[in-house]
A and B are shown apart, each in its own frame.
Chain A
Amino acid sequence: MTELPSNPPRNLPPHKLSRRKLIAGGLAATGGVLGLGVATRVAQGYGLIPPDHGGIFGLGETLTYASQRLLTRHSLAREFSRNQISKRPVANEIPPFGDAFKRLQAGGFADWKLEINGLVDRPGSFSLDQLKSYPPHSQITQLACEEGWSYIAEWNGVPLSHVLDIVGVHPQARYAVYFSIDTDWWDSIDMADALHPQTFLAYGMNGDELPVGNGGPLRLRLPRQLGYKSVKYITRMTVTDSVKGFGKGLGSASPEGGYAWYAGI
């Protein structure tokens, strides 16, 4: 047992909250708040503030996004070996498709187009065949859902950066906003993610066509963020310097539904 004093020591050093300590603490807190203000301005300049930085959870979101942007700007998502590919990829939440989708599906998606506009030199539309004519790339990466499940698949497609090079992105571009044919589902990523080598316009899975359940014919694939950022059935992308004009200005449909814009966690 620890030696315990039979009587509590009487002559303890004064350990009270003195006036001096209170004033010092107050000054430190004020300095902290001022410092936070300055830090915010600096972070804004370096693109470290997420669009959903407001509200009571904004500080946590900002800390996460800013620290991960600094830490992971160029890092690559983990890639796996072929024998780690999940035998059965999960196809969740297939929305009831509208007429536009059904019509394109009936035509074998031959007329599926991805339109790219905004802050680019040469806005244009890309058919699936056009996208497939570019040098194909593949990645064996994990898709992790915010619900908690995950699977590994080989994703075939063309890096988004390849297509963005073709349209010529303006230097003041900060976000790429992308839309599903189901217009309720749209999202955006910063240019670090948009130009990242593993960010794909994915049209294939495990060497085959990308199944409709997994986002076929065309899905954005973003392996460094949770699955909900990898929007399925994309038909449109706008390059912009601000997401203010899209939806409620929070950067995607996710924060409007209560979910974080940045999903690198």
Chain B
Amino acid sequence: MISHPRFYWGETGNIWTQPLFKLPIPASRNLVPTGYGYVLPDQNGWSRYLHFQAAWVVVLTGLLYVISIVLDGHLRKDLLPAEGDFSWRGLSTAIVSHLRFARPSEAEAWSYNLLQRLSYLFVIFVLFPLIIWTGLAMSPAFVSAIPATVSLLGGQQSARTIHFFVSLALVLFLLVHIGMVWLAGFRSRMRAMTTGIARTRMERT
């Protein structure tokens, strides 16, 4: 991204073609005219190695996670909205209490609210599949075997642009997620996530 902070739509894109948009940052390569007059240090080598290794971690743990939440009922019990959740009243109550920064009640330690469920489902079943798909669409070898991976997205540069926005969305989710964990009590939430046991103040007294 820093080595070529220009984004395109379609199959090809380069310094001689019209970008969809440019990031207002200097580049780490001198090929790109950014107007900043200096070139950032280039870290593409090891960061690409790290990126693709991390991609394997995401794919493998992601598959394991999705299979396990389907099998153990976590998906059905805790993530899919319960029947009746989709009433306007339910939705508006959830949004209003969320916007008021209402701290989660003790009871909510045991269950996700509607907004949580919808955002988790979106991250698990939309953002992550999309980041993997658009990533594979940029692989010249992978698309040689399965060309639809890139043609369905409208081209290799379209895939790169979507990949960029989805990665922003995932980072945003991560930041908000950590923020909410912090608000809900960082230590107890971390403990609950690690051990699977949620202990509330009531229980400890």
Which A residues are closer than 8 A to B by beta carbons?
1-10, 15-17, 57, 59-61, 63-64, 68, 71-72, 75-78, 80, 84, 86-88, 90, 92-93, 142, 144-152, 223-226, 257-260, 264-265
Establish whether residues B4 and A78, one from each chain, have CB atoms under 8 Å apart when the complex forms: no
Contacts of A259 in B (CB 8 A): 44-45, 48
Establish whether residues B156 and A265, one from each chain, have CB atoms under 8 Å apart when the complex forms: no
Interface residue stretch chosen among B123-131, B137-145, B176-184: B137-145
Contacts A15-B197, A16-B197, A80-B11; A142 near B140 (Cβ below 8 A): yes
B160 interfacial by beta-carbon distance below 8 Å: yes
21 A-B residue pairs with Cβ-Cβ distance under 8 Å, sorted by A, are A1-B85, A1-B113, A2-B81, A2-B82, A2-B85, A2-B114, A5-B107, A5-B110, A15-B196, A57-B53, A75-B141, A75-B145, A76-B144, A78-B147, A84-B11, A92-B31, A147-B3, A149-B14, A224-B140, A224-B144, A265-B140
C-alpha spacing A147/B203, complex, angstroms: 55
Residues 188-200 of chain B, each 1 if its beta carbon lies under 8 Å from chain A, else 0: 0000000111101
Establish whether residues A77 and B114, one from each chain, have CB atoms under 8 Å apart when the complex forms: no
B40 interfacial by beta-carbon distance below 8 Å: no
C-alpha spacing A71/B111, complex, angstroms: 42
Contacts A4-B110, A60-B56; A68 near B142 (Cβ below 8 A): yes
C-alpha spacing A17/B195, complex, angstroms: 8
Shortest beta-carbon distance, A5 to chain B, in Å?
6
Shortest beta-carbon distance, B204 to chain A, in Å?
11
Residues 143-154 of chain B, each 1 if its beta carbon lies under 8 Å from chain A, else 0: 111010010000
| Contact of A93 (CB < 8 Å), options: B31, B112, B197, B198 | B31
Which of B44, B113, B114 is the most central at the interface, judged by chain A CB atoms within 10 Å of its CB?
B44
Which B residues are closer than 8 A to A by beta carbons?
1, 3-4, 6, 11-17, 29, 31-32, 44-46, 48-50, 52-56, 81-82, 85, 90, 93-94, 105-114, 117, 138-145, 147, 150, 156-157, 160, 195-198, 200, 202-203
Which of B49, B82, B117, B147 is the most central at the interface, judged by chain A CB atoms within 10 Å of its CB?
B49
**Beta-carbon nearest neighbor of A76 in chain B:** B144
Contacts of A257 in B (CB 8 A): 45
Establish whether residues A57 and B82, one from each chain, have CB atoms under 8 Å apart when the complex forms: no
Shortest beta-carbon distance, B146 to chain A, in Å?
8
Contacts of B45 in A (CB 8 A): 257-259
Establish whether residues B140 and A146, one from each chain, have CB atoms under 8 Å apart when the complex forms: no
Contacts of A142 in B (CB 8 A): 11-12, 140, 156
Establish whether residues A147 and B142, one from each chain, have CB atoms under 8 Å apart when the complex forms: no
